[in-house]
Amino acid sequence: MVMTSATPAAKNSSSGSPLSWRQRVCRRLFEPVDNSSLTVFRMAFGIAIAAYAWETFTTPVLAADYIQPKMHLTYFGFEWVRPWPGDGMYLHFLVLFLAGIGTALGLFYRLAAFMLLVSFTHVFLIERALYNNHYYLIILLAFLANVIPLHRGWSLDSVRNPRRYSPQLPQWMLWLVRFQLGIVYFYGGLAKLDADWLRGQPMGMWLAAKSDLPVIGPWLANGAIVPIFSIGGFLIDLLAVPLLLWRRTRLAMFTVLVVFHLLNSVLFSIGLFPWLMIVATLIFFPPDWPRRLFQIPNAFPLQATPDLTSWTPRRKIVGAFLAVYLGIQLIVPLRLHLDRGNASWTEYGQLFAWRMMLRQKLTGVRFYGTDPATGQQGVIDITPFLTQRQAAQMSRDPDLIVHFCRQLADYYRQRGVPELQIRVKAMASLNGRKPQLLIDPTVDLAQQHRSFGPQPWIMPLTEPFPSEPWNEPIDQWERLIDIPLAAPQSLPGTTAEKALTP
Amino acid sequence: MIDQPQQKLNRAFSPWWFDPVPIDSLVAFRVFFGIMAGLDCIWFLQQGWIATTFLEPPMLFKYYGFGWVHPWPGMGMYVHFTALVILAACVSVGLFYRVTAVALAMGLIYVFLLEKAIYLNHMYLICLISGILAAISCHRAFSLDVWRRPAMFSDTIPRWCLWLVRFQVALPYVFGGIAKLNLDWLSGNTMFMFFVDDGKYPVLGSGMTSEPVVLFFTYGGLLFDLLVVPCLLWRKTRAVAFVCAFAFHLMNSQLFQIGIFPWLMIGATTIFLPPDWPRRFLQVPVIAPSRSSESLLTAQKKRTLLLAAVYVAIQLVFPLRQFLYPGDPNWTDEGQAFSWRMMLRAKLARVEVMAVDSRTGRRGPMPPENFLNPRQVRNLSRSPDLMLQFSHYLAREHQRLGGGPLQVYWHVECSLNGRRPQLLIDPSVDLAAQPRSLWPAAWILPLQASSVLADR
């Protein structure tokens, strides 16, 4: 538990009549704690966002992801979120950069934190193919940065107006951030209670692919090391929070996590995220660790309001907010346990659920268009519509496949094919299984809708987990696997390339 | 017994220069500088530049008088850079500072001296700053040395230390501004060439090459360089100057690929803030200003002041040598280095090298790109001194392989800041026979003044 210096108010109230549990909860939530660890968190968070924005702003990534694609794959319900026209996205990332700097310095903090949340969420919602659990976490943290006045401590706002400075924040703010990070570790661990993961895939394939790394490479190629990684990863995720909270194991667990994140950084280049997580994890240390480590004296002792145990209306609102927020965060990731088959296969509940590193899904998709009016049939070339990254992401997710098919149908409707039927032959190999059909090839996807409900045209996963991972190049799949499917003849005139040339 | 003039001297110097000022801003500077120097070395290692810059080229270009500096053999350069990373980390956290700061400065200067073809003003500045940090005691607070030996702690530092660092950081701005006071810059020609060179810019797009934009950046850059230091020191203009400096360096980072330098300069700008700014930021009670405890100018203090004064004088005078050379340093490259002449030239050249064996009379072209890496070739085409060194290298190699004395002739058509190309080197002079010297080279043809504002 948190080691706060016991406040006078807390002592007073405990010396009186015994407190009800409601009063104890109230005191626990609104007790003041040193805010320096939250301030350090704010700085690291702001710097990470600024670095991300600047990196994107100055490299061709920005144009490739947000300006050049002709079509965006969006989140269900957020199809209306569009990128800015022209060079607007450059300005957008510049705003995000400045918001990150402002957040880090605590300069015009309210405005900076709000702009950070809005502009980052906008970028996030534009393109679902770029979904990443880290980005989702950043949005949640940015939201919390708007709820919590993280600029009350060391900040330029406090320098500008010293009366605004305060060395403390109520305890619930600290625990809210801890909870948010704890959720990531804990659900990340729960998700690894997955049959494939515990049997060593996809970790085994990934490690084998990294066998050319210097020094550690030969070790990774050895199959015996795979269980260490997969069981170890599971245990680290699951035990991170309790062991970080217990004083005796805290430093050891933190060291393990630093190594864990650095190893992730080396093995699976995932950019800034490991570094952010390392600094963010420091939030589990006693809240005054920066003061103690850097020996920064505090001229202002912590002050508690006198009635720490009474639920004022304001506190009731805070309590309600916490209950709702915690509830949502706890329940949303659990939706994948609605009985709809393997989430790695169907992708139901895959997003916003901290399912990290759980699947290696190789896919090959072909789109067949049929114009019922003329009887014309043909294969639709998707390369003019999607970037490689979008295509790769789309082809493994049934929801995105149907989303794309509907956009394709719209496209042809505007070009004089009112009722184009689109069927797909989508083959997928999950975690080293033999490839099988992902989508029912007889269903016209142009007539299907995106939905949170079950989609009957998703084929169940029937291939068994293999002892040796299937390892054939995708262009050989059709030759090696016999799929009883009437191959539509390719007819000229329906390839998209011709239609799309401007 | 102290005589009269001596007392005057004491009053003039000792109290003020040795008054204690808060050490905080210098400590923050130390921490930040260590991190940035370390990151720069890591970046250099990661990019694989050690091999391409120091190990693979058959020849390295030397600074005059430093021909004896060579790369370590074998894996030595990798060890050297790894050591630099560790030393920079030690400086940052203030561990064994006296030793590590000196070692870091020497290690950085060594790398700097290895190859003239990668000269960059910011590398020079980093070397100078690391030297100054090694000379002052900014490890006496917030350091592992103090943690090991608490008696060492001090929350103040003599004022001259602070002002020496401020002087060093200010120098590139001021001299950079002075160097812009020439017709090429003031006419907007130079800036126009930079923007044209790099093609499309996001946000501003083609507007970057329009007359008002070019003139805005031209005169904005000039005013910024000349005014930023006084404006940062004056409280009323400080916030504006800081925002301008931030924007200026971000622009630089975006327009020109100069690595960590813009970020280093943004951080270094904090040295112009009141020296107790970290204390104010962290809401720790500030130290009341005090006078020096002893007002006497001791022999040791005199030595310190003298050394600092000599250093300052050298730093002020050395860049001025650019005015002693005849001709425009942008053209002749004489007095160009170590003078904070930044972003002043777009220099394009077509280079042909003809070599003649004076024993057999055989002749043939010697394209530099057959010998040098692309970066060396690019810098060679701008710098007569590098051409001279390359000529000597060719002659030396030819003789080593059993050939006779080699004559090397250069045909260099060079365009400076959008001028029509003209010859840079006297094509009738055998450069292999010319000695290196600091005197003006007679074989560099003067820049014809006619076409200063020629058609762009």
Q: What residues 100-159 of chain A have any CB closer than 8 A to a CB of chain B?
A: 154, 156, 158-159
Contact of B117 with B142, CB cutoff 8 Å: no
pLDDT at A495 over 60: no
User: Which residue has better confidence, A41 or B294?
Assistant: A41
Does the structure show a pLDDT above 60 at B452?
no
Cβ of B202 and A87 within 8 Å?
yes
Q: What band does B5 get if pLDDT is binned at 50, 70 and 90?
A: low
Give chain B positions within 8 Å (CB) of A87.
202-203, 205
User: Domain segments of chain B: what residues?
Assistant: 18-285+297-323, 346-451
Mean pLDDT of the A346-359 span: 85
Residue A491, pLDDT above cutoff 50: no
Interface test mutation site (partner B, options A55, A62, A158, max chain B beta carbons within 10 A)? A158
Confidence label for A376 from pLDDT (cuts 50, 70 and 90) = confident
Question: How close does chain A come to B203, measured CA to CA in Å?
Answer: 5
Q: Is the pLDDT of residue B414 over 70?
A: yes
CB contact (8 A) between residue A299 and residue B281:
no
- Asked if the C-beta of A51 comes within 8 angstroms of chain B's C-beta atoms, the answer is no
Measured in angstroms, the CA of B188 and the nearest CA of chain A are apart by 26
Contact B283 A154 (CB under 8 A): yes
B203/A58 touch (CB, cutoff 8 Å), yes or no: no
Q: Is B228 exposed, middle or buried (0-12, 13-18, 19+ CB in 10 A)?
A: buried
- On the 0-12 / 13-18 / 19+ scale of CB atoms within 10 A, A15 is exposed
Residue B155 has pLDDT above 50, yes or no: yes
Give the type of residue at B135.
A
Instruction: Please give the average per-residue pLDDT across B314-335, as a whole number.
Output: 90
Q: A299 in contact with B at a CB cutoff of 8 Å?
A: yes
Q: Which of A90, A162, A296 sits opposite B282 (nearest CB)?
A: A296
pLDDT greater than 60 at residue A10:
no
Q: Which residues of B touch A (CB under 8 A)?
A: 142, 202-203, 205, 253-254, 280-285
Taking contacts as CB-CB distances below 8 angstroms, the residues of chain A near B282 are 154, 296
Q: State which residue of chain A sits closest to B286, comparing Cα positions.
A: A299
Q: Residue A183's pLDDT band (boundaries 50, 70, 90)? A: very high
Structure confidence at residue B12 (pLDDT): 58
* Average pLDDT along chain B: 88
The answer to whether the Cβ–Cβ distance between B202 and A90 falls below 8 Å is yes
Query: What are the domain boundaries of chain A?
Result: 27-335, 360-500
Nearest to A158 among B142, B283, B285 (CB): B283
Query: For B256, which residue in chain A has the nearest alpha carbon?
Result: A58
- Who wins on pLDDT, B154 or B255? B154
- Determine the pLDDT at residue B456: 47
- pLDDT single digits (tens) A212-238: 776 777 777 777 788 888 898 899 999
Q: Provide, rounded to the nearest whole percent, the portion of chain A with pLDDT above 70.
A: 91
Question: Minimum mean pLDDT among A143-152, A301-310, B105-114: which range?
Answer: A301-310
Residue A484 has what pLDDT?
A: 59
Q: Could you tell me the pLDDT band of residue B17, with boundaries at 50, 70 and 90?
A: confident
Residues in A closer than 8 angstroms to B285, CB to CB, are 297, 299
Q: Do B254 and A58 touch (CB under 8 A)?
A: yes
Average pLDDT, chain A: 85
**pLDDT at position A112, please?**
97
Can you read off the two tokens belonging to residue A269? 């280049």
A296/B202 CB distance under 8 A: no
**What pLDDT, on the 0 to 100 scale, is given for residue A4?**
43
Is A18 in CB contact (< 8 Å) with chain B? no
pLDDT band at A14 (very low <50, low <70, confident <90, very high): very low
Residue B197 is predicted with a pLDDT of 57
Query: pLDDT per residue over B210-266, tens digit each?
Result: 788 888 888 999 999 999 999 999 999 999 999 999 999 988 887 777 778 889 999
Are A87 and B203 an interchain contact pair (Cβ–Cβ within 8 Å)?
yes
Measured in angstroms, the CA of A109 and the nearest CA of chain B are apart by: 15
Please tell me the pTM assigned to this model: 0.87
pLDDT of residue B269: 93
Which candidate, B10, B22, B14, B268, places its Cα nearest to that of B132?
A: B268
Structure tokens given for B376: 């060396």
> Which pLDDT value is given to residue A469?
83
CB contact under 8 A, B281 and A154: yes
Tell me if chain B has a CB within 8 Å of the CB of A58. yes
Q: What is the structure's pLDDT at B344?
A: 85
Task: Give the chain A residue nearest B263 (alpha carbons).
Answer: A51
Across the interface, of B205, B283, B285, the residue whose CB is closest to A165 is B283
pLDDT digits (tens, 9 = 90+) for B349-378: 999 999 999 889 899 999 999 999 999 999
CA dist A133 and A181 (Å) reads 12
Q: How far apart are CA A436 and CA A456, in angstroms?
A: 17
Bigger pLDDT: B335 or A213? B335
Contacts of B281 in chain A (CB under 8 A): 154, 156, 159
